[in-house]
Amino acid sequence: MHAGPEIAVASTKAFTNTLVCFALLALHLGRVRDLSPPTAAGSSPPSAPSPTRLARFSPISTRRGRVAARISQHRDAFFIGRASAYPVALEGAQKLKEISYIHAEAYPASELKHGPLALRSHRRRRPSPCFPRGDLYEKTLCSLEEIRARRGPVVAVTHPGDARLRERVDDASSRFPPTEPALDPIL
C-alpha cells in the first residue's frame, strides 16, 4: 500500500490507504469488464476534492477541539453508521479506544433498537459520533432522533450545509468537502 512506517498505534493512514486500494481495485475491475466511470458512479466519474479544498477542512480546528473536550468527559461512546459509513464508525471507535483508553463501540444504525438503545440511560449520557450519508440517510436521521430522545449527545461527521442534520445534532458537527458517495469513507 506504500503507507509508510507506522509511527503511532493509531495508524489512520493504513485504514485510509486500504480504502484507496479497494477503490482502485474496484475501478480496475470495472474497466476490465468495460464498465465506464460515468456508469459506475451513476452519472459522473468519481472525483476527489483537490488538496487545496481539503486543507480548508483541516482536522485541527477550534470546533473539533471543543467537541473532543466534551467527548473526553465521558467514559464511553457509541459510534454509529449505515452501509459504507459503518466501517468508518468501527474505525472511529477503534481509534478512540487506542488513543484515549475510553470505551467505545460501533453499531450499524439499523441495529440500535436491538440492544444499544437499551444501554442508554438518562444518568449516563454517552456521546454518539455518527456518519449519516447515502441512500439510507433519512433512516439514519431517525436513529439520531432515537438517541436524542434518550438525551444522548450526537456528534455528526458530514458535508457542510445540511440543515436537516443540524436540527437533530446536539453537538457541533464536523464537516468535510462533498465528493462522490463512494469516496466519502476515504475522506
Give the CATH number of the domain where residue 116 resides: 3.40.50.10490
39 and 68 share one domain? no
Tell whether 120 is covered by a domain.
yes
The pLDDT value recorded for residue 62 is 61
29 and 114 share one domain? no
112 and 27 share one domain? no
72 and 159 share one domain? yes
CA-wise closest residue to 154 among 84, 82, 88, 80: 80
37 and 74 share one domain? no
The pLDDT value recorded for residue 43 is 39
Tell whether 52 is covered by a domain.
no
HSE of 103, CA atoms in CB hemisphere, 13 A: 4
98 and 165 share one domain? yes
Question: Cell 458537527 appears where?
Answer: 173
For 21-75, what is the HEC assignment?
HHHHHHHHHHHHCCCCHHHHHCCCCCCCCCHHHHHCCCCCCHHHHHHHHHHHCCC
The pLDDT value recorded for residue 90 is 93
125 and 166 share one domain? yes
77 and 40 share one domain? no
CA-wise closest residue to 93 among 130, 148, 48: 130
The pairing of strands 174-175 and 103-108 is unpaired
Tell whether 94 is covered by a domain.
yes
Tell whether 5 is covered by a domain.
no
94 and 155 share one domain? yes
Tell whether 176 is covered by a domain.
yes
Tell whether 103 is covered by a domain.
yes
Tell whether 55 is covered by a domain.
no
Tell whether 110 is covered by a domain.
yes
97 and 41 share one domain? no
Cα distances from 120 to residues 16, 123, 125, in angstroms, run 31, 8, 7
74 and 152 share one domain? yes
- Tell me the average confidence (pLDDT) per consecutive run of 10 residues in the chain, 187 residues long: 77 84 86 73 52 60 70 83 88 88 87 69 67 78 80 76 65 67 77
The pLDDT value recorded for residue 140 is 82
Predicted TM-score (pTM) of the model is 0.76
What's the total number of domains in the chain? 2
16 and 104 share one domain? no
Domain that holds residue 90: 62-183
